[in-house]
Amino acid sequence: MHSGLQEHSLSSLSDGMLVLMPENVVPIQDVLGDIEWVDSWLKEMGLSPTALTYINSTENDAKNTALDHSSKGVDHAELCSTFVQTGPALHTCQLSNGAVCAIPLEGNSRSIRIHLRIHGHQRQENTDIICPWAGCPQKLQYKNVARHIQSTHLHVKLRCEQCGKTFTRKNAMMKHCGKG
């Protein structure tokens, strides 16, 4: 298990964000080794094997809200154009009812939606369901499940590189940057 902050190479993302993973995630290669099927599976899923940034997340990070930097004389809309994303990460899947799931689970909504379908969770977008994550009693619309798993169970956060503030939702970060 990794602890503290360990930086590796980062890949740029077009919508400009930094995704922070909690310390209980590890690079896919560390868990599965140099297995050729991992790269081909990732490519098939539309994912790319890149390095990660690990950081300890705190309860205070999760409580952050949008902040307007204009009062501090900072043009944050311009500054927030240099976010980067880390990934992919292998999280321990808790969608398979206690069975071992060896399929890499990234900390982004697209990967989580794909993973939900792999485990047979296919619902209508406006259907209310109980979160399929083991032990979670949260009732929500199916269309919000991936975002819920990402922020609540995988603890993925977005960080502003200019001020260090973290967010659990992309829309809050975009509002913070003056783009929302």
Reported as a single tens digit per residue, the pLDDT across 42-85 is: 566 555 444 332 232 333 333 332 333 444 444 444 444 434 34
Distances from the Cα of 102 to the Cα of 110, 112, 159, angstroms: 18, 14, 29
* Among 15, 31, 20, 16, CA closest to 54: 20
Please state the pTM of the whole predicted model: 0.51
Domain ranges of the chain: 78-178
Residue 43 sits at φ, ψ, to 5 deg, of -65, -40
Reported as a single tens digit per residue, the pLDDT across 75-114 is: 444 444 434 344 445 677 888 676 767 777 778 888 888 8
Fold classification of 78-178 is Double Stranded RNA Binding Domain (3.30.160)
Beta pairing partners, 158: 19, 167
Q: What is the pLDDT of residue 67?
A: 36
* Least confident piece of the model among 24-28, 53-57, 86-90, 163-167: 53-57
Residue 28 sits at φ, ψ, to 5 deg, of -55, -40
Q: Where does the pLDDT of residue 119 fall: very low under 50, low under 70, confident under 90, or very high at 90 and above?
A: confident
SS3 for the chain, per residue? CCCCCECCCCEECCCCCEEEECCCCECHHHHHCCCHHHHHHHHHCCCCCCCCCECCCCHHHHCCCCCCHHHHCCCHHHHHHHCEECCCCECCCCCCCCCCCCCCCCCCHHHHHHHHHHCCCCCCCCCEEECCCCCCCCEEEHHHHHHHHHHHHCCCEEECCCCCCEECCHHHHHHHCCCC
Q: What is the pLDDT of residue 169?
A: 79
Beta pairing partners, 6: 54
Q: Say which residue the tokens 């949260």 belong to.
A: 138
* Among 56, 64, 59, 48, CA closest to 20: 56
Residue 176: partners with Cβ closer than 8 Å, 6 or more residues away = 66, 67, 68, 69, 76, 80, 160, 165, 167
Q: Where does the pLDDT of residue 138 fall: very low under 50, low under 70, confident under 90, or very high at 90 and above?
A: very high
